[in-house]
Amino acid sequence: MTPTGKPIDVLLVEDDPGDELMTREAFEDNKIGNSLHVARDGEEALDFLYRRGAHADAPKPDLILLDLNLPKYDGRQVLEQIKSDPDLAPIPVVVLTTSSAEEDILRSYRLHANAYVTKPVDLDQFIKAVKQIDEFFVQVVRLPTR
């Protein structure tokens, strides 16, 4: 929630059910009252963002947590699409992925990711990382208003 107590909409783009579950647990454990929406591949993420098909009524997310290794369109392609669209570009995108490869980090920032976080493998560390992302992007920085 924002400092004013307003919940935000977070889009998690994640194909791994285990990582999705850990993210949900992190939101619950940290009493994060934000709405978590999930897209399980790059195509579904774009459908959500452009409100197509089953996502026609989807809210515009205030924050996107994006995995890089996705089916259909990978996270790099999704990030590039988001940041090249004037309506979507202001949405902060945190790349949350297992890759710690310098090439992936550099490319993500060149595509204008707002942050790059390597997923910890330990559940407690993963929960802590998600909490820190929430605290920073929701409580510390000012997000654009819709």
In a domain, 81, yes or no: yes
State how many domains the chain has: 1
Closest CA to 27 of 14, 44, 42: 14
* Predicted TM-score (pTM) of this structure: 0.90
Cα 110-128-1 angle, rounded to 5 deg: 80
In a domain, 27, yes or no: yes
Token pair for residue 17?
A: 């059910």
Closest CA to 1 of 137, 94, 144, 145: 137
Digit-coded pLDDT (tens) for 51-68: 999 999 999 999 999 999
CA distances from 113 to 31, 41, 79 (A): 26, 18, 7
In a domain, 51, yes or no: yes
Digit-coded pLDDT (tens) for 16-51: 998 899 888 887 776 656 788 999 999 999 999 999
In a domain, 4, yes or no: no
Q: What CATH code is carried by the domain that includes residue 123?
A: 3.40.50.2300
79-84 mean pLDDT: 97
In a domain, 63, yes or no: yes
**Where is pLDDT greater, at 100 or 49?**
49
The Cα–Cα gap between 76 and 33 comes to 29
In a domain, 146, yes or no: no
Per-residue pLDDT at 132: 87
Range of the domain at 129: 9-139
In a domain, 3, yes or no: no
- pLDDT at residue 95 is higher than 70: yes
**Where is pLDDT greater, at 6 or 120?**
120
In a domain, 1, yes or no: no
